Amino acid sequence: MTFRDGELELRKMVNKLRENEIITVTKASLPEFREYEELISKLWENRWLTNMGMYHEELKEKLKSYLEVGGVELFVNGHMALEMLIQAFELEGEVITTPFTFASTTHAIVRNGLKPVFCDIDPDDCTIDASKIESLITKDTCAILPVHVYGNICDFKTIEGIAKEHGLKLIFDAAHAFGESVGGIPVGELGDASMFSFHATKVFNTIEGGAVTWKGENRELSEKLYKLKNFGITGKESVEYVGGNAKMNEFCAAMGLCNLRHVNDWISERKAVYDRYVRNLGHVRGIRLLGRREDTVYNYAYMPVVFDGNIFKRNEIYEKLMGENIYSRKYFYPCVNAYDCYRGSYDPKETPIALELSENILTLPIYPELSAEDVDRICEIIVG
Ligand SMILES: *Cc1c(COP(=O)(O)O)cnc(C)c1O
Nearest protein Cα to ligand 1, atom 10: 104
Q: Give me the long-range contacts of 110-115 (CB less than 8 A, separation at least 24).
A: 111/83, 112/83, 112/86, 112/87, 114/86, 114/142, 114/143, 115/140
Query: In the prediction, which pLDDT does 94 show?
Result: 98
Whether residue 65 is predicted with pLDDT greater than 80 in this model: the reply is yes
Atom of ligand 1 nearest to the CA of 176: 15
Q: Ligand 1 pocket: which residues have CB below 6 Å?
A: 77-79, 101-102, 104-105, 147, 173, 175-176, 197, 199, 210
CA atoms within 13 A on the CB side of 256: 31
In angstroms, the CA 151 to CA 333 distance is 18
Q: Per-residue pLDDT for 131 more than 70? A: yes
- pLDDT bin (cut points 50, 70, 90) of residue 195 is very high
Whose Cα sits closest to atom 13 in ligand 1? 102
The pLDDT score that the predictor gives to residue 1 is 64
Distance 79 CA to ligand 1 centre (A): 6
What separation in Å is there between the alpha carbon of 175 and the centre of ligand 1?
Answer: 5
Nearest protein CA to atom 5 of ligand 1, as residue: 78
Closest-lying ligand 1 atom to the alpha carbon of residue 101: 13
Pocket test for ligand 1, best of 199, 207, 252, 332 (most atoms within 8 A of CB): 199
How far apart, in whole angstroms, are the C-alpha atoms of residue 358 and residue 348?
Answer: 10
Distance CA 224, CA 231 (A): 11
Q: What does the alpha-carbon distance between residue 355 and residue 214 come to, in Å, rounded to a whole number?
A: 32
310: left (phi over 0), alpha (psi -120 to 50) or beta: alpha
Residue type, 169: K
The alpha carbon of 20 and the centre of ligand 1 are apart by a number of angstroms equal to 27
CA nearest neighbour of 212 among 223, 202, 199, 222: 222
**15: DSSP letter:** H
What does pLDDT average to over the chain?
96
DSSP state of 329: B
Closest CA to 212 of 21, 100, 67: 67
From residue 248, alpha-carbon distances to 55, 260, 358 in Å are: 10, 16, 33
217: left (phi over 0), alpha (psi -120 to 50) or beta: beta
Atom of ligand 1 nearest to the CA of 201: 1
Nearest to 303 by CA among 356, 378, 383: 378
Q: What tens digit of pLDDT does each residue of 317-372 get? A: 999 999 999 999 999 999 999 999 999 999 999 999 999 999 999 999 999 999 99
Which residues touch 260 (CB under 8 Å, ≥6 apart)?
A: 59, 62, 63, 66, 204
Residue 77 reports pLDDT greater than 80: yes
Residue-wise pLDDT tens digits, 249-278: 999 999 999 999 999 999 999 999 999 999
Strands 141-145, 94-97: pairing kind? parallel
Name the nearest CA neighbour of 187 among 230, 146, 134. 146
Ligand 1 geometric centre to CA of 104 (Å): 6
* pLDDT of 38 higher than 70: yes
Q: How far is CA 216 from CA 69, 151, 191, 221, in A?
A: 7, 23, 12, 11
CA 168 to centroid of chain Cα atoms: 23
What ligand 1 atom has the least distance to the C-alpha of 82?
10
**Ligand 1 center from residue 102 Cα (angstroms):** 7
Spatial separation of the C-alpha atoms in residues 171 and 225, rounded to whole Å: 14
Q: Looking at the predicted structure, is the pLDDT value of residue 197 above 90? A: yes
| Whether the model pTM is above 0.85 | yes
Looking at ligand 1, which atom is closest to the CA of residue 198? Answer: 7
CA 176 / ligand 1 centre spacing (Å): 8
pLDDT at residue 9, as a whole number: 81
Ligand 1 centroid–CA 64 distance in Å is: 20
- Residue 285 pLDDT > 70: yes
Give the span between the Cα atoms of 232 and 226, in whole angstroms: 8
Q: d(Cα 104, Cα 120) in Å, to the nearest integer?
A: 18
Alpha-carbon 121 to chain mean position: 17
Q: Which of the 8 DSSP states describes residue 178?
A: T
Whether the Cβ atoms of residue 130 and residue 170 lie closer than 8 Å to each other: no
CA 212 to ligand 1 center in whole angstroms: 12
String of b and e for 161-173 (b: at least 16 CB within 10 Å)?
ebbeeeebbbbbb
Q: Which domains does the chain have, with CATH numbers?
A: 33-119+126-260 (3.40.640.10), 263-383 (3.90.1150.10)
Among 26, 145, 173, 206, which residue has the most ligand 1 atoms within 8 Å of its CB, making it the best to mutate? Answer: 173
Q: How far is CA 186 from the centre of its chain?
A: 16
- Closest ligand 1 atom, residue 147 Cα: 13
**Mean pLDDT to the nearest integer, 180-207:** 98
Q: Say if residue 286's pLDDT is above 80.
A: yes
